[in-house]
Amino acid sequence: MPNLEYYIGSEKDDAALRSVLHQTPMAGPIRMTFEREPSFFGVKHLEGSFHQTIVGKDSKNGKVFGVTNRSIRQLYFNGKIESVGYLGLMRLLPEYQTGFPALRGYQYCKKLHLDQKTKFYLTSIMDGNEPALKLLKSGVRGLPRYQEYSHFCTRSIPIRNKPKKIISTTISIINGQKVDQSALVKFLNQYGKQHQFYPMWTQETLFNPDHTPGLKPENMLVAIKNEEIVGCMAMWDQRSVRQTVVKGYKNSLSKIQWLINGCSLILGYPPLPKKNSKLKSCFISHVATEKDNPDIFLELLTQCHNFLIQKKIEYMVIGFDENHPFDHIVKSNFKNVPAYSRIYLVSWEADGIDPLQMADNRLPGIEVAIL
C-alpha cells in the first residue's frame, strides 16, 4: 500500500472521520461503535489541552481510512503533575487492517513526538482486539515500546427502576452546587496526588464545556463529614458529543436476547438495547474519597444510581484497574456488564526511558470518562 498519506486533520475531514468511527465496531459479546456526533471535533479539550487528530488517507482513491488522536494532558505521576500523552481512538477500516498502514501511522506519530511535549503516552486496547495485539507482539522494527501497566475493567451498571437501599453512615451527601468549587478542586487534587495518572483539575477546567462537555455542578455528589469534603463522584453524560451505539450481538447472546429482556422487565432492569440504538448511559467520573474509603465510595455510587432513575439513564459506566478495591466493591454490590482493556505505557526507544520502571506503586487513578 504505497499510496498512504498521513496529516493533522481539521474541520474539512469531519464527515470522513465520523464515517470511520461508524464503520469500526469493537469486538465482543456486544459489538459497539464509539461515535462523535454531530461533530468529530466537538469534544475540543476533553482528552487534553493539547490535541492532534492524525488522519490516514489513501491518495489513490481519496478515502480516509484511519484516525488516531494524540493528546497531552496534565496528570499526576508519582505525586507530581506531569505532561502525559494519550494515543486514542486508533481506528482503521477493515480493509486497511493489514499492519502496514498502522506501522506507517506510528512512523508519523514518531515525527510528531519530536516536539518533546511529553516523555511517554498512555493508550488503551480492548481485550479481543486481535489485529492490534498481534501487531504489538510482532517485533516489527519502528514500533514504539508498549509496556502493560494495568488490566482495566469498565463496568456498565444497569439502572434499576427501584432505588437501592442506602447503608447508613456518618456522612451527609450534598449536591455539587452547594459546595465551594475551590475546595472541591483542592480535594480532587489531593486525592489525585495519591494515585497514578489521575487528572489534575483547576477551577477553570472542572466545569468548563470545552474540557468537560455536559458536566455541571448539579451532576456531582459530594460527601461531607464534620463540614469537610471526604468524597465526591460525578454523573457525566457525554451523549451530546460522544455516543456508544450497539451494532449487534454475538450469536449465542442474540438467540437468548428475548429471555434476558423478559427477565430484566420482571426484575426492573433495562432491556438489552436494540441493534443500532444509542446506549442511554453516563460515566461515573471524578471519583475521589478520603483514604480510598470503601463505605464512602459505596454510598456515593448508590446515591448516583438512585439519582439517575429520574434522569432516564439506563446504564452508568465506571472503570478501575481490576485490582483496585473499588472495582471489587462495584462487582460485589451491583449487577454489571464488564469490558476489559489493557492500559499500556508507550515510549520511543530513542528517548532512553522506562516509564514502567519509573512508576511507583500508587494505585492507578485512570479516568474512564476521558479514555
Each residue's pLDDT tens digit, 80-101: 999 999 999 899 999 998 888 9
* Domain membership flag for residue 268: no
Q: Length of the chain, please?
A: 371
* Domain membership flag for residue 314: yes
Query: Distance (Å, rounded) from C-alpha 100 to C-alpha 107?
Result: 11
Verify that 64 and 178 share a domain, yes or no: no
How many domains, in total, are found in the chain? Answer: 2
The conformation of residue 119, written as its DSSP 8-state character, comes to S
Provide the pLDDT for residue 100: 85
- Are the CB atoms for 109 and 89 separated by under 8 Å? no
Provide the pLDDT for residue 84: 98
Provide the pLDDT for residue 33: 94
Verify that 37 and 13 share a domain, yes or no: yes
* Domain membership flag for residue 263: no
Burial zone of 290 (CB within 10 Å; 0-12 exposed, 13-18 middle, 19+ buried): middle
Q: Supply the range of the domain harboring residue 366.
A: 4-152+340-370
Each residue's pLDDT tens digit, 35-50: 999 999 988 799 899 9
Verify that 201 and 109 share a domain, yes or no: no
Verify that 200 and 148 share a domain, yes or no: no
Verify that 213 and 324 share a domain, yes or no: yes
* Domain membership flag for residue 248: no
Residue 184's domain is classified under what CATH number? 3.40.630.30
* Domain membership flag for residue 26: yes
Verify that 202 and 97 share a domain, yes or no: no
Verify that 196 and 325 share a domain, yes or no: yes
pTM: 0.93
* Domain membership flag for residue 249: no
Verify that 179 and 316 share a domain, yes or no: yes
* Domain membership flag for residue 67: yes
* Domain membership flag for residue 264: no
Provide the pLDDT for residue 312: 85
Query: Side by side, which strands form the sheet with 63-77?
Result: 4-8, 50-58, 63-77, 80-92, 121-126, 337-347, 145-158, 315-321, 281-289, 228-236, 220-225, 172-175
Verify that 20 and 131 share a domain, yes or no: yes
Ranges of the chain with pLDDT below 70: 1, 137, 168, 251-267
CA distances from 37 to 45, 294, 343 (A): 16, 37, 26
How far does the chain reach from its first CA to its final CA, in angstroms?
30
Verify that 331 and 285 share a domain, yes or no: yes
Verify that 210 and 116 share a domain, yes or no: no
Verify that 184 and 102 share a domain, yes or no: no
